[in-house]
């Protein structure tokens, strides 16, 4: 049984609609003015609203605009003695789903009510199916993130990913390679949601398939990933990727950066002053061009160094006023959190980014790898 709210100031029309809808087994609420109608929408969240335009206290236009602005999504069918095209256009633009001019055919109006409710039920079923698919995709993706961190001598490291939606276009991984070496991967796929997550899964597979045999030839791994993504995706689908291999025997980090945010290597001098070295991009993103050169660099790490590999969901997180968290925000966060563990830095940075956003919805995936050299 569906609940229907009728907001109509003509008693004859109100009673006639109420009686016919109740005869069709609907639960019917009624209001004779706009303010009363607004209160009933807020209190009962009806499945459908039949809304007259010319109402005392609050017009149907204003009522429709207000409830749509507050997130009410059920169908609204507008009634009006106005039959001009402009009136219908205004009502539909404000969020009405249908528009019937007075005098109306009761038989036709009831058929329109049934059609709107049927469409709404189908919409809810589709949403339920999609929600189930997204939940399953989220579980699959969570299974791709590393659950066991390979032990690496002289290294404390951790990763975190907080999707903006149920599934993420960001991806990170830790790979146990030969001779105790560790692979560090962070990728940011263009777009969000399911399509980005599927591309991230493909990237996960191709990197893992080539990482062990390539050893510290990081550029070669990204070259092979680029070939696969370019052949199997459209031009607008690509990924920025940072892939590094750390050798604990030499403390050398070899790395390739395909268009990704330059990671921060933060170290302190004998006086405790922190400096930041950026591991800049060497090539365009993966999947953008048919060929990607196997370029890479290397840097020697020292005890006390912090390496932060992150997605732009951190640096570009902006307040309502447009103030970015920025690279400086991340650097300052490390200054406050850097005496703790890598896992503590990951959790702390995510909390500081969310505090920076305040009550705003998280606009992008937030992903961070934190590495501390002991």
What would the pLDDT profile of 143-192 be if each residue is shown by its tens digit? 678 888 999 999 999 999 998 876 777 889 999 998 999 999 999 988 76
Indicate the pTM of the whole model: 0.70
| Residue in this structure with the two tokens 């850097």, named with its chain if needed | 338
Assign 277 a pLDDT band (cuts: 50, 70, 90). very high
Pairing of strands 306-310, 264-268: antiparallel
Q: Which DSSP string corresponds to 124-176?
A: HHHHHHHHHHHHHHHHHHHHHS-SSPPP-TTEEEEEEEE-SSSS-SEEEEEEE
Query: Does an H or E element contain 313, and which?
Result: helix 312-315
Assign 290 a pLDDT band (cuts: 50, 70, 90). very high
249 near 180, Cβ under 8 Å? yes
- Look at residue 95 in the predicted model and tell me its pLDDT: 77
- Look at residue 158 in the predicted model and tell me its pLDDT: 97
Question: Tokens at residue 229, please?
Answer: 């993504």
53 near 60, Cβ under 8 Å? yes
- Look at residue 20 in the predicted model and tell me its pLDDT: 86
Average pLDDT, stretch 275-303?
95
Q: What is the CA radius of gyration of the chain?
A: 29
Q: Which neighbouring-strand residues pair with 4?
A: 28, 48
- For residues 46 and 40, what is the distance between their CA atoms, to the nearest angstrom? 8
Q: Is the pLDDT of residue 255 over 90?
A: yes
Residues of the chain with CATH 3.60.40.10: 145-373
| Residue in this structure with the two tokens 């062990």, named with its chain if needed | 212
Q: Is the pLDDT of residue 52 over 90?
A: no
Average pLDDT, stretch 28-55?
88
- Look at residue 138 in the predicted model and tell me its pLDDT: 64
> In the sheet that 98-101 helps form, which strands lie side by side, from edge to edge?
27-31, 3-7, 48-52, 76-80, 98-101
- For residues 372 and 21, what is the distance between their CA atoms, to the nearest angstrom? 68
Sign, Cα dihedral of 338, 344, 346, 347: negative
CATH class entry, domain 3-129: alpha beta
Q: Is the pLDDT of residue 12 over 70?
A: yes
Q: What is the mean pLDDT of the chain?
A: 88
Torsion of CA 170, 180, 206, 203, to 10 degrees: 0
- Look at residue 169 in the predicted model and tell me its pLDDT: 79
Assign 281 a pLDDT band (cuts: 50, 70, 90). very high
229 near 200, Cβ under 8 Å? no
Q: Is the pLDDT of residue 90 over 70?
A: yes
Give percent of the chain above pLDDT 90.
Answer: 46
Report the half-sphere exposure of 120 (CA within 13 A, side-chain side).
19
Assign 235 a pLDDT band (cuts: 50, 70, 90). confident
Residues of the chain with CATH 3.40.50.2300: 3-129
**What 3-state DSSP class applies to 111?**
helix
Average pLDDT, stretch 233-245?
90
Q: Is the pLDDT of residue 137 over 80?
A: no
- Look at residue 140 in the predicted model and tell me its pLDDT: 66
Q: Which neighbouring-strand residues pair with 258?
A: 241, 283
Q: Which of 53, 45, 33, 55 is nearest to 5 (CA)?
A: 45
CATH number of 145-373: 3.60.40.10
Contacts for 222 with CB less than 8 Å, ≥ 6 apart: 241, 243, 256, 258, 283, 286, 292, 294
End-to-end alpha carbon distance in the chain: 65
């Amino acid at each position: 049984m569906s609940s229907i709210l009728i907001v109509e100031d003509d008693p004859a029309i109100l009673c006639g609609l109420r009686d016919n809808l109740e005869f069709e087994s609907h639960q019917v609420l009624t209001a004779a003015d706009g303010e009363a109608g607004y209160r009933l929408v807020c209190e009962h969240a009806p499945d459908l609203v039949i809304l007259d335009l010319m109402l005392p206290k609050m017009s149907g236009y204003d009522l429709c605009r207000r409830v749509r602005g507050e997130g009410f999504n059920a169908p609204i069918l507008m009634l009006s003695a106005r039959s001009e095209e402009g009136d219908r256009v205004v009502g539909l633009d404000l969020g009405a789903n249908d528009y019937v001019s007075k005098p109306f055919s009761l038989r036709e109006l009831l058929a329109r009510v049934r059609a709107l409710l049927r469409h709404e039920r189908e919409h809810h079923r589709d949403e339920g199916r999609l929600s189930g698919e997204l939940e399953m995709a989220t579980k699959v993706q969570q299974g791709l993130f590393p659950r066991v961190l390979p032990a690496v001598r002289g290294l404390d490291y951790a990763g975190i990913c907080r999707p903006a939606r149920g599934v993420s276009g960001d991806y990170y991984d830790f790979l146990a390679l030969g001779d105790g070496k560790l692979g560090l991967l962070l990728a940011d796929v263009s777009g969000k949601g399911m399509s980005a997550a599927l591309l991230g899964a493909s990237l996960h597979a191709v990197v893992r398939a080539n990482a062990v045999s390539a050893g510290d030839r990081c550029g070669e791994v990204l070259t092979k990933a680029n070939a696969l993504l370019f052949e199997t995706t459209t031009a607008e689908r690509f990924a920025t990727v940072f892939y590094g291999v750390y050798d604990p025997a030499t403390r050398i980090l070899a790395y390739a950066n395909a268009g990704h945010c330059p990671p921060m290597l933060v170290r302190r001098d004998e006086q405790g002053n922190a400096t930041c070295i950026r591991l800049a991009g060497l090539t365009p993103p993966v999947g953008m061009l048919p060929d990607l050169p196997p370029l890479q660099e290397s840097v020697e790490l020292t005890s006390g160094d912090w390496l932060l590999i992150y997605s732009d969901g951190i640096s570009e997180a902006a307040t309502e006023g447009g103030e970015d968290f920025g690279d400086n925000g991340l650097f300052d966060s490390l200054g406050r959190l850097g005496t703790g563990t890598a896992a503590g830095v990951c959790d702390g940075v995510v909390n500081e980014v969310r505090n920076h956003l305040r009550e705003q919805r998280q606009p992008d995936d937030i992903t961070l790898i934190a590495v501390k050299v002991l």
